[in-house]
Amino acid sequence: MNVLVLNCGSATVKFQIIATDLERIAGDTDVRLARGVVERVGGEAIITFEAEGRDPRRTTAPVRDTRSAVETVIRWATSESSGIESVKAVADIHAVGHRVVHGGERFTHSVLITDEVLRGIEDCIDLAPLHNPANVRGIQAAREVFGAGLPQVAVFDTAFHQTLPPHAYLYALPYQWYRRHRIRRYGFHGTSHRYVAYRYRKLLGIERAATKVITLHLGNGCSAAAISAGDSVDTSMGLTPLEGLVMGTRSGDVDPAIFDYIGAKEGLTPQEVDSVLNKQSGLLGISGLTNDMRELLDEARESDDRRARLAVEIFCYRVRKYVGAYMAALGGADALVFTGGIGENSPEIRARVCEGQGWMGLELDPARNEAHTDRREGLISADGSRLAVYVIPTDEELLIARDTVRSVHGVPQRF
Ligand code: ADP
């Protein structure tokens, strides 16, 4: 089955085409055929296409909306020049898997999209006003391009965290707020945490029920998850992706009283404060330079910039605090797993997060840590370390493609 995986944002459509089926899932032999991105949808778009094993191709063209972005992708994929052997016509795409940001409490796993499911995703727009509308547009665009008969599946960022117990997902706020408005912790990056927990047990050859790990997704957005018996039992993001760790431009945890205080001091509306906390805080806010960790590390090294150093220090300190908290929540874990652009590529950040944690039996192997860059998977802790540490590159698109196959065949997704 050739699955088109779509991740539709407000002005960006990312895609992959993955050949997979139940047999390939069992044998771990799925094949990525192509990937790419259409950026600046709504104007003169920048389009990058890359068939597996070929050089990327970059072009620009006017792309009006999400539908025309999906059409552009399909026109390229089915063209002779794309070089994708098994995709020659629209009919060679057999299903579409969508990344959907918010599934609320309703969606606890991936589902085949029906009119009712689409209405359910629309009902979650309140909870994710920036993301879910773009996801809905992506689903509608794919229906228009491929016809209503082609199976489409929604894979939710929140679904994996629906196993959180009430003491982890409820805030200590008036209970009616939860009852009336569903104010609670939902958590995000669920597909990534679930994927790396799955890879971890594949690497070790252990059962789902024996998976007791802390997963750290450190990218532009950052989140931690505590995983017990394969299920997420706590996570750092909340009602929205703002809570928890320090991120590229998001503050993570802050005292909510700051909202009112700074609003009055600087004459900002609640929406403006919200925007600063989401878009101008985190690494960018502290350093005043950039939200990009690699640039910050270069800056701290080359020009010894004080605020760049401070931003990195605060980032690592917050991660360390969450690791400690989740060790307590789990009553001890077997491993720590790093993923995401920073977690997969930066030995320096990993070393600083793990620094001084011998008390919990954590000892990194410096040479192994240094050797794991460029998405290399493997163990980076020392042989005697009681808490193992792994780098496991995430692959949300693969999990979306696999869930799409499983949903089409009606087989369970717990694995
Ligand atoms: P997204 O969350 O948007 O998918 P990524 O997971 O790709 O983003 O992570 C992007 C972050 O990873 C950026 O802050 C980038 O600087 C950082 N990063 C990528 N490579 C390195 C590296 N070698 N060292 C440090 N940080 C890196």
Is 115 in the active site? no
Contact 16, 98 (CB under 8 A): no
List 49's β-bridge partners, or say none: 36, 57
- Domain definitions of the chain by residue range: 2-156, 206-391
* Strands 152-156, 231-235: pairing kind: unpaired
The residue type at 61? A
Selection from 248, 242, 208, 244 nearest residue 228 by Cα = 208
Task: Verify whether ligand 1 is closer than 6 Å to residue 248 (CB atom).
Answer: yes
The total of other beta-carbon atoms located within 10 Å of residue 209's CB is 11
- Distance (Å, rounded) from C-alpha 258 to C-alpha 264? 10
Ligand 1 proximity of 345 Cβ (cutoff 6 Å):
yes
The token duo for 360 is: 């919990």
2-156 and 206-391, same CATH topology: yes
Full-model pTM:
0.96
**What is the chain's pLDDT, residue by residue, as a tens digit (415 residues)?**
999 999 999 899 999 999 999 999 999 999 999 999 999 999 999 999 999 999 999 999 999 999 999 999 999 999 999 999 999 999 999 999 999 999 999 999 999 999 999 999 999 999 998 899 999 999 999 999 999 999 999 999 999 999 999 999 999 999 999 999 999 999 999 999 999 999 999 999 999 999 999 999 999 999 999 999 999 999 999 999 999 999 999 999 999 999 999 999 999 999 999 999 999 999 999 999 999 999 999 999 999 999 999 999 999 999 999 999 999 999 999 999 999 999 999 999 999 999 999 999 999 999 999 999 999 999 999 999 999 999 999 999 999 999 999 999 998 776 5
250: Cβ–Cβ under 8 A, 6 or more apart, which residues? 221, 241, 242, 277, 278, 279, 281, 282
219 CA to middle of ligand 1, Å?
A: 5
Residue of 101, 191, 289, 293 to test ligand 1 pocket, by largest number of atoms within 8 Å of CB: 293
The β-bridge partners of 385 are none
Residues 183, 171: contact at Cβ < 8 Å?
A: yes
* 342 in contact with ligand 1, CB cutoff 6 A: yes
**Axis-axis angle for helices 293-302, 306-330 (nearest 10):** 130
Pocket flag, ligand 1, residue 399 (CB < 6 Å): no
Task: Judge residue 183's burial from the number of C-beta atoms within 10 Å of its C-beta, 0-12 exposed, 13-18 middle, 19 or more buried.
Answer: middle
Letter string b/e over residues 26-54, b meaning 16 or more CB atoms within 10 A of that residue's CB: eeeebebbbbbbbbebeeebbbebbbeee
Distance, CA of 149 to CA of 238 (rounded, Å): 36
**What is the atom index within ligand 1 of the atom nearest the CA of 220?**
2
Is residue 133 within 8 A of residue 123, CB to CB? The reply is: no
364: which DSSP letter?
Answer: B
Q: Which fold has domain 206-391?
A: Nucleotidyltransferase; domain 5 (3.30.420)
Nearest atom of ligand 1 to the alpha carbon of 248: 14
- Is the CB of residue 108 less than 8 Å from the CB of residue 159? yes
341 C-beta closer than 6 A to ligand 1? yes
Dihedral (CA of 89, 91, 93, 98) sign = positive
Q: Which fold has domain 2-156?
A: Nucleotidyltransferase; domain 5 (3.30.420)
Instruction: Report the distance separating Cα 282 and Cα 315, nearest Å.
Output: 8
Which of these is catalytic: 30, 157, 231, 234? 157
| Closest residue CA from atom 23 of ligand 1 | 345
Contact of 102 with 132, CB cutoff 8 Å: yes
